Chain A
């Protein structure tokens, strides 16, 4: 349990077996490969170019997969994501991997088809723009580049206003001073643009042009070589061709989408291959041998080295990792405990000197979570939801841990909800009172109208506040206990005793006095014992906290400072647990408000309809908001109050060479 002991192994094998050896290691997934120090005569494998080309293939396969998902989306339900990955046996996997090149060919076809589609789409929009430009010129039956005849010159272009032939002639006459050796024709006109064709006598050309210019005449940017209709037809054809090509390419992609499973496999296969070649980079190779090191969980060591030596002509040497090494951390716990591992990982993995905090933390995590959410109805929903995911869909991996965590949190919430008599707020007594005009009386509850097994926090918040502090104290004492165990295990026995025991005495001694302040009746004898215990603890803290200092003044000074730190630190830590009460009240009261709002109408039928609507909406919102709040504050209590007592963190996660697949799971034969 807890942190898995790591061994360090060095392996030497013939160079021709290296590939198969790494294949095997990858399927076994128990070894993290590590570079050896430089050895004379051996060079590190240079696999960079291979890795780069594999990454290119991987990229092609992934792009192809994205494309077929876009054009022919896979049919999958929401719940499919909960199901585990389909499994492939090792032999199936090797057989399929032979087809990888073929699949890559398909992927390339898909990518090319998509490229063509994109090019065609660009072509269509370009052609469409050309059509738009030429459309207003269609009535012109000569090329737009037409220059004129021997005696005339043509002016073809646009004016920024709506003109008819007469209107244009009148407008031009104002500038032309009687010159009339020209002919104009309006090809088309719209509200803000007219296309005009003007034919002027050679001698009148300059004058006519400048008159037109005064009307803000402009030559077209891209005049046609033939009559505009020719260009129009050509562009229409281009669009039709491109559309046909898009259609056939789309059909091709849809057809090739049938290979979806193969492409998924190819993605996995290239990922595996890339990881293997990346790991191979860590090996030192000579002409005939390769050598590399790595970390292996201690319990796997013997089987793995035996297997390696029997399957390959490899030599394996196992030893304890050297102290200065950056040994990776692997946690292995029962599912109940493993469920909170992601929470710890989010803070930091245990350092090599740390103990695994998860076993202690898991119990408190569930208890504190339940206390803050504290509604049996919400807890039940969580537990049922997670139970379905857990038992029916058999989720695996990291998701399984999260589902497990919420499952246990849900059960703990049910537990506290029952104690505090909260089931979707006060829905049970309220229905009894509102619809049956009866105050619900249950034998186990103290007050009529309550279903609490213990007491209702709203009725006596001080009581729950005291208990919150008590739970906090227990939590923190476990933290202190962990600090003791950690130092003891490291061989720092004096540290374990001097740093933990006096604090324990001091705090435990103060508790009866603190309880007195909160109006809890404590037997006088306990207060007296506590007083002496606290004094003894305080003296010991002053005497021991500064023991590392050399001179007597320093010892005393650091000792007093240590006392101040201990007292203020523990006070604020314990007060922090008052959030257990605050968040618990928050859930319960708002749930009650929801029920109250639903019961406003006096007509019972209207009331029932209203209550159902408000109930569903209100409780969904309340549950969602409080779930987030509870999750955050439970984490905080673990990170800030609990971990601060003993946990350092900073470990590196164990990342063995493994088949890191997304779509298939490879199983050993």
Chain B
């Protein structure tokens, strides 16, 4: 039994955990700011809710990577494929962009979204712009997701599993 499958699963778990932890902190941070606005003006609930959800996508992306990985290496289907340690490490590396960038970008997106919440509080008519500021950060999570997916698929293609 090689460490291959262990490293592959470790990668997927890190992606899910990194993205999920970042999103949890981020959504919580924005939620606190949003709750403050809603105490003053409950009608702004819808607008701040969108801002609160924005840093939550990283958790989703991380989950996506973990799920794809588990499917690719057959753990999900119940018949894991044999991986050498090197192959396992390749999967591990493929997951790293999502794990790292997912965590960091969720935190920073949350910061942008918290600032956006104060836009909604003071100038609700400009709330669209607040969303865009926060969404800018998300680009990098999307790019990381993409690289993780492409790397993973190509690893699978190369080892012929």
Contacts and interface: CB of A to CB of B under 8 A. Distances in A.
Contact of A465 (B61, B68, B150): B150
Given A465-B150, A593-B67, A625 B53 contact: yes
Contacts of B139: 576, 579, 636
Q: Which 10 A-B pairs have the closest CB atoms?
A: A346-B128, A632-B135, A579-B142, A582-B142, A582-B146, A582-B145, A578-B146, A636-B135, A589-B64, A593-B67
Contacts of B146: 465, 578-579, 581-582
Given A589-B67, A625-B53, A625-B60, A583 B142 contact: yes
A274 B135 CA distance: 40
A628 B150 contact: no
Interface string A574-603: 011011011101100110010010000000
Contacts of B131: 632, 635
Interface in A628-660: 628-629, 632-633, 635-636, 639-640
B17 to A, nearest CB: 17
A606 interface: no
Interface of A: 346-347, 461-462, 465, 575-576, 578-579, 581-583, 585-586, 589-590, 593, 596, 625, 628-629, 632-633, 635-636, 639-640
B61 A586 contact: yes
16 contacts: A461-B150, A462-B150, A465-B146, A575-B143, A579-B139, A582-B146, A583-B142, A586-B60, A586-B61, A586-B64, A590-B64, A632-B54, A632-B131, A632-B135, A632-B138, A635-B131
Contacts of B61: 582, 586
A629 B57 contact: yes
Contacts of A585: 64, 149
Interface of B: 50, 53-54, 56-57, 60-61, 63-64, 67-68, 76, 128-129, 131-132, 135-136, 138-139, 142-143, 145-146, 149-150, 153
A136 B136 CA distance: 68
Contacts of B135: 632-633, 635-636
A664 to B, nearest CB: 22
Given A461-B153, A582-B146, A589-B68, A635 B60 contact: no
A635 B132 contact: yes
B26 to A, nearest CB: 14
Contacts of A583: 142
Contact of A635 (B54, B56, B128, B150): B128
Given A579-B142, A586-B60, A586-B145, 10 more contacts: A461-B153, A465-B146, A582-B145, A582-B146, A582-B149, A589-B67, A590-B64, A625-B53, A625-B56, A632-B131
B60 A590 contact: yes
Q: Chain A binding site: helix, strand, loop or mixed by DSSP?
A: helix
Contacts of A586: 60-61, 64, 145
A340 to B, nearest CB: 13
Contacts of A629: 57
Contacts of A576: 139
Contacts of A633: 135, 138, 142
A634 B27 CA distance: 22
Contacts of B67: 589, 593
A581 B135 CA distance: 17
Given A586-B60, A589-B64, A636 B129 contact: no
Given A625-B53, A625-B56, A629-B57, A636 B132 contact: yes
Contacts of B138: 632-633
Contacts of A346: 128-129
B101 to A, nearest CB: 12
Nearest to B67: A593
B57 A578 contact: no
B57 A636 contact: no
Contacts of A628: 50, 53-54
Nearest to A458: B68
B56 A461 contact: no
B69 to A, nearest CB: 11
B4 to A, nearest CB: 23
Contacts of A589: 64, 67-68
A625 B57 contact: yes
Nearest to A585: B149
Most B CB contacts (10 A, CB to CB) among A347, A575, A583, A589 go to: A589
A325 to B, nearest CB: 24
Nearest to A636: B135
Contacts of B60: 586, 590, 625
A347 B133 CA distance: 12
Contacts of B50: 628, 632
B142 to A, nearest CB: 5
